[in-house]
Amino acid sequence: MEFFWYIVCSTVESCAFFIVMLFLFRFHSFQYIRSIFATSVLFSFLSYSLRVDLGFNNFFPLVTILVFAVYAFYILKIPLFWAVAMSLVSTITSFALETLMLLLYFIPGVGTLGDISSTSSRIFQVLYAIIVIPLSYFMYRRGIGFAFNFDKLKWRAENLVVFIIVIILVIAMFITFIQKNVFYAIVFALITTAFLLYLSFKKERDDID
């Protein structure tokens, strides 16, 4: 039964990841729900094989980035460069949201590290989906997110600088994550997300002007 519940709860969580990614970039996630569900199921089996059978926990975020990028490239028809950038941003945002929610569980009197079990982690995965899906939909309805016309984006100097900065922040985040320094990993994730949101809002204002 452990395998069954792992796949079920991981699929729910993965669906939430994809929905957040699409809403974050102004795609209406519910229009892609079939492909999201199918990819999430496959992703859950991959997760079980790599994390449980092989023990590749520390490197699984890189796999997540790859899966997100492939989905954006093949399903959303986004150019490969921007599919990777979209995947990076989405992974960072999902990581920050999930980690912040997990930290709330460790508020004194609420929970401790010793309380974490397979059952509680499954419950947390479902709660994460219940919270972030309505939240991301609310942000989508309010026009909060990254609005880019991917077909018109070129290899301009400003885009290259942005991508390099994101890569540096992502590398720093994953190094701290692998070293189990969660606090600094969260800081890097929040800085990256805030930086990209600022650039998105700035670009929209420039387009309006």
What percent of the chain is modeled with pLDDT above 70?
63
* The pLDDT value given to residue 34: 94
More confident residue, 106 or 14: 14
Q: Is 154 helix (H, G, I), strand (E, B) or coil?
A: coil
| Prediction pTM value | 0.77
| pLDDT tens digit sequence for 71-114 | 998 998 888 877 887 887 788 778 778 877 777 766 544 444 44
**What gap in Å lies between CA 205 and CA 200, rounded to an integer?**
9
Domain ranges in the chain are 2-148
**What gap in Å lies between CA 174 and CA 180, rounded to an integer?**
9
| pLDDT tens digit sequence for 32-78 | 999 999 999 999 999 888 888 777 776 777 788 889 989 998 998 88
